[in-house]
Amino acid sequence: MIAYNVYMSNILHKSDQRPSVLVHVAGNVRRLRQAAGLSQQVLAESAGVSRRMLVNIEKGDVNVSLNTLDRIAEALGVLFHALVQPPESRDSGRIDEIAWLGSMPGSQARLLASKAAATEVELWAWSLAPGERYDSAANPAGWQEMVVVTAGVLTLYLDSEPARCIDAKDFHVFASDQEHGYANEADTAVTFIRNVIY
């Protein structure tokens, strides 16, 4: 039986290196908050986070969940990619930034691109090492996800149905307004493309 490292709350695990995405998030949140004329306290309350958390995010000193970043983006009136892309980049069609690292080498999620749909579509490239798992809280009503496995076997966990194994070259589309998780229960790495539509 594989022991999973489940980290719903952290986008990046602690290491000696300060990942560039935390630097981008810090600068972007501070810049966008100031441009909106919001105090840290007001933004924190609007996003449903503590002021201390927001202060640490703006300093780049804290790991933050993808769900928390979504709430901060909504409170700022911007799309998610505006918080993670390099500040000098204005093209959301090519972001290509790591936004989540697992606890095991080889596990990561890279936000490749984000384009407006009815509201927005995000394109992600994920890889999970053997034994790695990523769990997500439920997204708001109406959100959908599409996953396409490019190598290995991905196990998808949804509240609404039994666990599903998705082989390479296969895909699954599901409503993500439920708790869901991605796991690698095999002995080799799994890679997959993930579209988030909202």
CATH of the domain at 161: 2.60.120.10
Residues in the chain: 198
Q: Are residues 186 and 119 in the same domain?
A: yes
Predicted pLDDT at 126? 97
Q: Are residues 102 and 192 in the same domain?
A: yes
Cα 188 to Cα 51, 81, 146, 163, 183: the distances in Å are: 42, 30, 22, 19, 12
Both tokens of 96, joined, read: 């290509």
The Cα–Cα gap between 133 and 120 comes to 26
Provide the domain limits for residue 121: 5-11+92-197
Predicted pLDDT at 62? 77
Predicted pLDDT at 11? 54
Positions in the chain whose pLDDT score sits under 70 = 1-19, 90-91, 93, 116
Q: Are residues 51 and 130 in the same domain?
A: no
Residues 41-49: contacts with CB under 8 Å, at least 24 apart: 43/72, 43/75, 43/76, 46/75, 47/71, 47/72, 47/74, 47/75
Final residue in a domain of this structure, among 51, 84, 117: 84
- What pTM was estimated for this model as a whole? 0.64
Both tokens of 120, joined, read: 């927005």
Q: Are residues 104 and 189 in the same domain?
A: yes
Predicted pLDDT at 88? 77
Final residue in a domain of this structure, among 59, 84, 109: 84
Q: Are residues 138 and 108 in the same domain?
A: yes
Q: Are residues 99 and 191 in the same domain?
A: yes
Q: Are residues 79 and 114 in the same domain?
A: no
Predicted pLDDT at 15? 44
Q: Are residues 117 and 187 in the same domain?
A: yes
Predicted pLDDT at 19? 57
pLDDT in tens, 105-163: 888 888 887 776 777 889 999 999 999 999 999 988 888 899 999 999 999 999 989 99
Predicted pLDDT at 60? 85
